[in-house]
Every structure is written in C-alpha cells, then in structure tokens.
Amino acid sequence: DAYTLTNLRAGMRGKRAFGEVWVRNAFDTRYIPVAFPFDPRLAPSGFIGENGAPRTFGIRVGVTF
C-alpha cells in the first residue's frame, strides 16, 4: 500500500548561532519500506520486511565562527 510521511523543521539563525527543532514522521504513520516474498509457512502474510521508523523529534543548536 502507498503511504505518505510528513517531516517538519523550523529554526532561527543569528550572526554566530543557530537553532532548530525537527520532527520526522510527524503523524506516526506505520509503514513497511522494504518487503520481500517469503515462504508462507514461515511468514503468514507471505512477505518478510522491516517496519519503518516511528515518529522522532529533536533539536539542533550550533555556533559558527
């Protein structure tokens, strides 16, 4: 199935410093980015894959010189 991910970032920059906040997968969409056909006796869906990253957020600050 198709899916959409929303990533957000906002920040400020001064003469020597900067800061930003960010969110990846803002709506906490559950998705499988990679899947391969697999023996249905071992994987009931007939596929094996990995789950996508959950919502993550953070801050970034720095100084330039």
In a domain, residue 14? The reply is yes
Mean per-residue pLDDT for 30-51?
A: 91
Provide the CA 26 distance to its chain's centre, in angstroms: 8
Does 2 fall in a domain? no
Say how many domains are in the chain.
1
Residue-range definition of the domain harbouring residue 35: 8-63
- DSSP state, 13? E
Report the chain's mean pLDDT, rounded to a whole number.
Answer: 95
The closest of 22, 20, 51 to 35, measured between CA atoms, is 51
41, part of any domain: yes
Distance CA 19, CA 60 (A): 6
pLDDT of residue 1: 77
Q: Report pLDDT digits (tens) over 13-35.
A: 999 999 999 999 999 999 999 99
Enter the pTM of the model.
Answer: 0.75
Give one DSSP letter per residue of 29-65, joined into a string.
----SEEEE--TTTSTTSEEEEPPP--EEEEEEEE--
As a whole-number percent, the residues of the chain with pLDDT over 90 amount to 80
Q: Is residue 1 in a domain?
A: no
